[in-house]
Structure 1
Amino acid sequence: MPTNSRRNFLRAALVGASAIAAPVPLAGSAGATGMSGARSDVAETAGEAPGGPGKDARFDPADKVGFGTARTERSLVWFTLQGGRMSETYYPDLSTPASRHTELVVTDGKTFVQRVGQADTRTELIGHGGAPRYRQTSQGEGWSAVTQYVTDPERSSVVIDVEVRSRTGTPLQVYVLHDPSLSGDGNNDSAFPQDGALVAEDKHAASALLAQDGFAESTVGYLGVNDGWSELSENDGRLKHHYATAGPGNVVQLGRLRLDGCARTRQTVVLGLGEKADDAVRTARRSLRAGFHAAAHAYDTGWTSYLAGLPQPPGSLRTPSDRALWTASVVTLAAGEDKKNPGAFIASPSMPWDFGSRHVVPETGPYHLVWPRDQYQIGTGLLAAGDHAAAGRALDYMLRTQRPDGHWPQNCKVDGEPFWTSIQLDETAAPMLLAWLLDRHDAGTLERLARGGDFILGFTSEEGYEAPYSQQERWEEQSGYSPSTIASVIAGLVCLADLLERGGQGGKAAKYLKAADKWQESVEKWTVTTKGPDSDEPYYLRLTKNGKPDSGVEYELGNNIETPVDQRTVVDAGFLELVRLGVKPADDPVIRNSLAVVDRKLAVDTPSGRHWYRYSGDGYGEQPNGEQWTVNRPEVKTTHGRLWPIFAGERGEYELLCGDRHSAAGRLRDMARTAGETLMLPEQVWDTRPPAPREKPGTGTASATPLAWTHAQYLRLARSLERGAPVEFPSVVAERYVRR
């Protein structure tokens, strides 16, 4: 028998076997009859679901309230939580989503049917010693549910403890709804039953959903056509069809747990993953056999052991809540490291806004990629936490992913494959800065860093501008002369020269120092205007397109801002990199005047403190009514970038360099106030424009949450307050330009 025919035969046989040999239904289950646990009045058919391939779907919103994985390398799965449910899982690496969401559906089979994601839910961080273990408590129409989540440290599975109770005494039916998205797509999955599991697979991976006592009934269908949720919601909580197989297409699986909320209230559910269906089922069965409590204990133990090996939180964090946020930030960074590719730290385990629909980019979005800029932020955050080994792995990863011509890619998947390819000179300087902080001057490291330095020195743009002009600056939307980019490049070259000296290759250092000195003397000429509308005194611009800051050159900001703007009207706080990286003194009069301009134009006082926009007129954020950011859609005319907590941290580091420790401590408190209920720090928080007051200013938007950069900045500022100076400050740069 051909392999495909044999597989189809076995699937059909398994469907029949599961229908005949399933355990007796729960006593008291509403309408339960027959040996299958399904009611005979609603089961009309079996076999293959019609109507494929189903509708395209988007991934869940990016404002996560949970992110976890085991510390072991054996467990190649990560989970996220959002809106009362488990949202994306990742397998086998952090660039590859494996599912869109997994959630409970509760019904009495007559008067209501409700997804737990629609119910009021409180999410708590309950892991021992700071482990990222979570409990979600939901209240619905006459029912309550408590779910807990861990990943099995021994294998690639998510283990979920489910408890559902009826508050009225009415028996309930409880379903698990699972939307697989294997290999990051989900539009070409196939689904079928195997050994009591609901299995999905594509060419590269498979998942298996198992319940402790098996499923009383199940179905599979195509999203928006005949998926289980559509069936239940359209038929008063009853399944009209029980399809066994579907695909390839956008399949959704549904299985009823043997719970009634009265006599039986608790079950364990496992989502196992593997390369093939057999692997996924075997993984799920082994985790189910071990049980939730054993997995949770081992999960917590792994994290507490890791944290015990790090220094204590800074003494300046005096309250339990401050120390808890410190620990959560360390754990968030550590959990964001890929296990198959050590040192690959992603920006966020989320896909904000229209990135989740693959409208903006053909794949699932840039936030679960590795960016050299974010690697530097994460690496320095880990250094602040005392995890020097992880910071070293971050540098090693960057050295492995350097391009042949010497520059570092804009970003790449965790396996090192470049994703976007624009050149950002600050990202090529970032490994030099991190290497200096790590005191890495071995021959192999120096050879790669020198190649990066040579690339910077020889860079010329398509327009004919030479470095430090960059094809993109740190917000990745414009070319030009950017103060923040120039600061990174100057500091990077000085750090490279110092490392060469320490590595016995001092003869190679002169050319890098010569360029750095020239650019340090020229940065104001390229980026400080004396004829701008925002001050009678000189101030730094976000960037200039031509190196002539007093000219009225116009450019389009992008992000749905179509009207060109005069470059003299656009400011950001990127010039603070000049101070924080030792290129300019903190009391420089142009720096101080530029801060006054930025505060007038970009600062907003909120209940969580003072926060800042990225730059004048930024459109990278939600629409005025709160709907998602997107581009290139004619119906979306306006979007507004909101406030970024990282800028409170950057201002705090600047204030430390000014000797103002009190103000810097206030910035740390402002960052802490933006944390959500489970201590996730967001990319952006709401401002005072609509949709305020519906959305409370100073609270997280639907931007990427948790954002690793924000957590890293919190760690850096907290440790810097203890030391009295920024932990990332390259003293060798300051000794050359500030302290001479």
Structure 2
Amino acid sequence: MVDAAPGAPGIDARWTSSAKNGIGTALSKHSRVWFTLSHGVLNEIYYPRVDSACTRDFGFVVTGNDGYFSEEKRDCETETRTIAPGIPAFSIINTARDGRYRIEKQVVTDPSRACVMQRVRFTALKGEVNDYRVTALLAPHLVNAGQLNSAWISEFEDKTVLFATGRSRYLALISDTPWRAVSAGFVGVSDGWRQLKQHGRIAEQYQRADDGNVALAGEFDFTGACQEATMAIGFGQTEFEAAAAAAGSLKDGFEKAQQHYVANWQAWQQKLVPLDRQEQAGVNAYRVSTAVLASHRAADRAGAVVASLSIPWGFSKGDDDLGGYHLVWPRDLVETAGGFLAAGDAEEAIAILDYLRHVQQPSGRWPQNLWLDGKPYWPGIQMDECAFPILLTDMLRRLGHLDAKAQKRFMPMVRSAANYILTNGPTTCEDRWEEDAGYSPFTLAVEIAALLAAADLLSLDGDDVAANHLRETADCWNEQIEQWTFAGEKNFCEALGISGHYVRIAPLGTTDEARASGNTEIRNQTPDRALLPTADVLSPDALALVRFGLRAPDDPHILDTIQAIDHSLRADLPQGSLWYRYTGDGYGEHEDGAPFDGTGKGRPWPLLAGERAHYELAAGRSEAAEALLGTLEKSAGYGGLFPEQVWDGPDLPEKELFLGRPSGSAMPLVWAHSEHIKLLRSLKDGTVFDMPPQGVERYIKNKTGSQLRIWRFNNRLSSIPVGKMLRLETETNAVVHWSADGWVSTSDTPMVPSGLGTYYADLPVQHEDAGKTIVFTFYWPDSGTWENTNFTVHVVDETSDSARIENGE
């Protein structure tokens, strides 16, 4: 054996396909390891946390003395099935397209250890087993990185072991069948794949490859009498710990691990609400969705669930994309908690809420996304992610899962989050797709619903002052939703016969008049869709106004918006209708199928079919909701996993893109599986499972309006309608010095505490006529200083303005 492999550090490291057709974990605190499957091979394996990918892939190459070369992940037809309904333990059959061999595998993780086990059987369909060489290839990427890994060959308990390390984590690959040859090398230069391609065998057995993009290779000693092997990939904090895990699993045997694995899953699934439906193509879609949710949980951090065990377009991404989707998004996490709740696992939903309580930032908000330990990854701020945990707290309370003592535990979190929304809303720093800032119907819906929910929680906690302040704020924002977000380019609306539509997001600083006239920057133009100004970009997000109980399903503004959405964003695919995120979306493959690289074209999202189905159910059209459930389930990949997006162009077989099938985006998307479970539960119950009741009661049934408009330093109103009080709200105590007649007469109004860390004063200007100007400034008693700036707010007749805006005049 040669000491060191040549070619350091190897070619640039890349990840692999995000199109998973299997994921799994042992549901055991003793086994902090997760695996993914794609193209008939193991892909990323995660250890010791669900946000730490440690391998790229692990598959086999078959060669022959006649120059034969076949790689199972590229040259086989693959069939992957669960070994029991809904249990993410898998049986894989890979049959060479040329009919020369078959590889059968079973994959589980050992519930007793951090170890992935794979039992493999090789069958020669043409010729004899001795005519072939079967070599295992393992690409370490420890931890979340393919560079600066080291690989070497050594021994443990008289067995040859293939080791790798990176960032203080270790893996060890051991087989119960002897290796004929083993090697460690640098990818693209001296790795096993290149040797097999050039020589048909491992010609040079290199012992070490240090500090680069490395790979391990081991040829099985298969013969006519021995065609089966069990392999174990153990993980640890040291090489000996990793090797001991692998060796221990092999000693206990594959059958014991599999039985224990299946028993764990069955015990959990037996507790769930039976929402099963007839299987399609051998897939129980409900059990797959519940397994997806449970398989994305952290083993060592209760309540943490990552968004997806995948890296979108991973084959084009390197170490500069550390997170992939194996991060925690607070929004996705609350949606996932709703999925657990709908399936009957309230304990997990409470754990999620507790996790959110622990990672809440001192300001009251949550990071845009984060690692399991709470460290932020992306730096953005999303207001809906500050509101969702409040809604989860209230839903758990309403469903009877939080007693008075538990509610007390979460009240500081609720109060802090409500204060953050109060002082930073109603605009969104970024919308729910992490892109633009402004007034978003989705964010507004979540914020307002959360303020009402927080008000109920505060009332139960004995703080009616703060509760009333939140309800008044919610009423004020709710009454202005149409003013902020209902627009529409005149020619577009006339062509559809609608008065306007809710926009995806109204940019900050865009006036109502400018939006009405269409005098805004033109954004994207696509051949099949209307040309829309920036402020008039369409999105199905507007349906959140119904989902969160603020608008009735038959509200004329909603109906007009749905007509515009279906005209501009619906994609009719073989499985049914799906929708794009918004007009001009650039997050998706290029037209030629090239992966998203910062630019591209957004593709239809199956998740949005679930959201539309919930709207249809809210509107009383259960048959339409059932049909959309079918469309959602038919959008799954092989094995029942839901992708983030599906391909909407002509088939591109060379890029594995087929009309209506998963694209190269994330798969599975946990949020989509959560929506699927909630839809199943909603259809069973005959009502939208997670719709907050407060807005329905307050705005749809009782038509509650608002008597005021709110001015803040970060939301400086220029005008208020006739008949409204003017509320001034600050984060510091003040006295308001003001006048309604140009300082001829003045008044001094002390501010009072809201109970939420802010102070406010209501100026009684509701009887002032249109055309009057209110002027004011602030005296700050704590510092004994004046603001030294006068602020003005005009009283206007908004009725005519609103009519003009809605008519696009």
- Give the alignment's TM-score, normalised by structure 1: 0.88
> C-alpha distance in 2, partners of 1:156/1:426?
37
The residue number in structure 2 matching 1:684 is 645
* Post-superposition offset of 1:323: 7.6
For residue 628 of structure 1, report the CA deviation from its aligned partner: 0.8
Are the counterparts in 2 of residues 49 and 243 from structure 1 also a CA contact under 8 Å?
yes
Q: Deviations over 1:351-410 (max 9, x none)?
A: 012686247xx3423411000110121111111111111111111111111111111110
Establish whether residue 258 from structure 1 lines up as the match of residue 221 from structure 2: yes
Match for residue 181 of structure 1? 141
User: Conserved in 2, the CA contact under 8 Å of 1:624 and 1:691?
Assistant: no
Question: Which residue of structure 1 aligns with residue 395 of structure 2?
Answer: 437
In structure 1, the residue corresponding to 2:180 is in which secondary structure? coil
Q: In structure 2, do the counterparts of structure 1 residues 216 and 691 end up closer, same or farther at CA, with 3 Å as the change threshold? A: closer
2:417 — aligned with what? 452
User: Structure 1 CA distance, aligned partners of 2:258 and 2:65?
Assistant: 33
Q: Partners of 2:373 and 2:278 in 1: how far apart? A: 40
1:583 aligns with one of 550, 554, 568: 550
1:470-495, Cα deviation, whole Å (9 max, x unpaired): 11001111111111011010001111
Aligned positions of 1:683-702 closer than 5 A:
683-688=644-649, 691=652, 695-702=657-664
Residue in 2 that maps onto 1:197: 161
> Any idea what the Cα deviations from partners look like across 1:28-80, whole Å, max 9, x if unmatched?
xxxxxxxxxxxxxxxxx511112211112211110101100101111011000
| Cα offset, 1:178, TM superposition | 0.4
The reply on whether 1:629 has 2:596 as its aligned counterpart is yes
C-alpha offsets along residues 229-277 of structure 1, whole Å, 9 cap, x if unaligned? 0111012x122211011102111000111213x3321110111101110
Q: CA deviation at 1:530?
A: 4.8
Amino acid at match of 2:423: G
Q: Which of residues 166, 177, 184 is equivalent to 1:213? A: 177
1:325 aligns with 2:272: no
1:722 maps to which of 672, 684, 703? 684
2:586 maps to which of 619, 628, 631 = 619
Aligned to 1:80: 36
Residues 16 and 314 of structure 2 are in contact (CA less than 8 Å); yes or no, is this contact kept in structure 1? no
8 Å CA contact 1:105–1:115 kept in 2: the answer is: yes
Of 260, 264, 268 in structure 2, the residue corresponding to residue 298 of structure 1 is 260
What is the alpha-carbon distance in structure 2 between the residues aligned to residue 557 and residue 185 of structure 1? 36
Amino acid across the alignment from 1:249? G
> Cα deviations across residues 312-362 of structure 1 (Å, max 9, x unaligned)?
116xx3456698100010010011111111111111100012686247xx3
How many residues of Structure 1 are paired with residues of Structure 2 in the alignment?
673
* Letter of the structure 2 residue corresponding to residue 627 of structure 1: A
Of residues 303, 307, 314, the one that matches 1:343 is: 303
| Pair 1:418-2:376 in alignment | yes
For 2:283 and 2:688, the matched residues in 1 are separated by: 19
Offset of residue 666 of structure 1: 0.6
Describe the shift of the 1:366–1:457 C-alpha distance in structure 2 as closer, same or farther (beyond 3 A).
farther
The C-alpha deviation readout for 1:604-630, integer Å capped at 9, x for no partner, is 111111100000021111111212111
SS in 1 for 2:294: helix
Supply the distance in 2 between the matched residues of 1:365 and 1:652 (Cα, whole angstroms). 31
Name the CA shift for 1:167/1:134 in 2 (closer, same or farther; >3 Å): same
8 Å contact 1:347–1:370 — kept in the other structure?
Answer: yes
Matched, 1:379 2:342: no
C-alpha contact 1:354 1:630 (8 A) present in aligned 2: no
> SS at the partner of 1:534?
helix
Q: Secondary structure of the equivalent of 2:626?
A: helix
**Structure 2 alignment gaps of length 5 or more:** 703-809
Instruction: Give the 3 Å change call, closer, same or farther, for CA 583–472 of structure 1 in structure 2.
Output: same
CA–CA separation in structure 2 for the residues paired with 1:363 and 1:645:
25
Change (3 A) 1:259 1:626: same
* Equivalent of residue 232 in structure 1, options 193, 196, 206: 196
1:672 aligns with 2:639: no
Tell me if structure 2 keeps the 8 A contact 1:683–1:706. yes
Provide the C-alpha distance between the structure 2 equivalents of 1:67 and 1:594, rounded to a whole number of angstroms.
Answer: 38
Evaluate the alpha carbon distance shift between residue 211 and residue 568 of structure 1 in structure 2; reply closer, same or farther with a 3 A threshold.
Answer: same
Of residues 249, 269, 272 in structure 2, which corresponds to 1:310?
272
Residue type of the partner of 2:48?
P
1:659 aligns with 2:615: no
3-state SS of paired residue (2:469): helix
**Matched position secondary structure for 2:54:** strand
* Conservation of the 8 A alpha-carbon contact between 2:297 and 2:303: yes
Please say if 1:223 is aligned against 2:149: no
Aligned CA distance change for structure 1 residues 46 and 366 (closer, same or farther; 3 Å): closer
- Say whether the 8 Å CA contact 2:16–2:315 is kept in structure 1: no
Q: Which residue of 2 aligns with 1:534?
A: 492
Unaligned ranges ≥5, structure 1:
1-44, 460-466, 632-637
Give the 3 Å change call, closer, same or farther, for CA 456–685 of structure 1 in structure 2.
Answer: same
2:209 is the alignment partner of 1:246: yes
Instruction: Give the letter for the 1:576 counterpart.
Output: L
Q: d(CA) in 2 for partners of 1:339 and 1:728?
A: 27
Looking at structure 2, the residues matched to 601 and 47 of structure 1 have their Cα atoms a distance apart, in angstroms, of: 63
Q: Give deviations 1:186-239, integer Å, cap 9, x for gaps.
A: 31112222321111113420000000123221011001111010111012x122
Opposite residue 557 of structure 2, the aligned amino acid is V
Structure 1 counterpart of 2:571: 604
Tell me the equivalent position of 1:520.
478
Matches within 5 A, 1:266-277: 266-277=228-239
Q: Secondary structure at the match of 1:738?
A: helix
Greater fraction of residues in strand? 2
Supply the AA of the counterpart residue of 2:533: D
Q: 1:244 to 1:695 in 2, by over 3 A?
A: closer
Query: Given the alignment, which residue of 104, 113, 118 partners 2:60?
Result: 104
- Report SS of the residue matched to 1:114: strand
Distance in 2 (alpha carbons) for counterparts of 1:173 and 1:388: 51
Secondary structure at the aligned position of 2:351 is classed as helix
Closer/same/farther in 2, CA of residues 420 and 533 from structure 1, 3 Å limit: farther
| Whole-angstrom distance in 2 between the partners of 1:249 and 1:558 | 44
Deviations 1:519-559 (A, max 9, x none): 10001101111544421312111111135342532276799
CA distance in 2: counterparts of 1:669 and 1:522, whole angstroms: 37
Q: Which has the larger radius of gyration?
A: 2
**Is 1:131 the equivalent of 2:87?**
yes
Q: Percent identity?
A: 34
**Which stretch has the larger CA shift, 402-411 or 566-575?**
566-575
**Which residue in 2 is equivalent to 1:498?**
456
- Checking the alignment, whether the CA contact within 8 Å between 1:100 and 1:180 is kept in structure 2 is yes
Superposed displacement of residue 84, structure 1: 1.8
**Counterpart in the other structure of 1:10:** none
1:478 maps to what in 2? Answer: 436
The answer on whether the counterparts of 2:523 and 2:584 sit within 8 Å (CA) in structure 1 is no
Secondary structure, aligned partner of 2:492: coil
Alpha-carbon contact 1:355-1:364 (below 8 Å) kept: no
Query: What is the rounded CA distance, in whole Å, between the counterparts of 1:354 and 1:116 in structure 2?
Result: 19
Residue pair 1:358, 1:365 contacting (<8 A) in 2 also: no
Match of residue 642 from structure 1: 603
| Alpha-carbon distance between aligned partners in 1 of 2:659 and 2:484, rounded to the nearest angstrom | 36
CA contact (8 A) 1:84 1:118 kept: no
Q: Secondary structure at the match of 1:134?
A: strand
Structure 1 residues 526-535 or 379-388, which shifts more? 526-535
Instruction: Measure the CA separation in 1 of the matches of 2:16 and 2:681.
Output: 34
1:427 and 2:396 are equivalent in the alignment: no
How many Å separate the matches in 2 of 1:718 and 1:570? 31
Q: Check the 8 A contact 1:116/1:138 in 2, yes or no.
A: yes
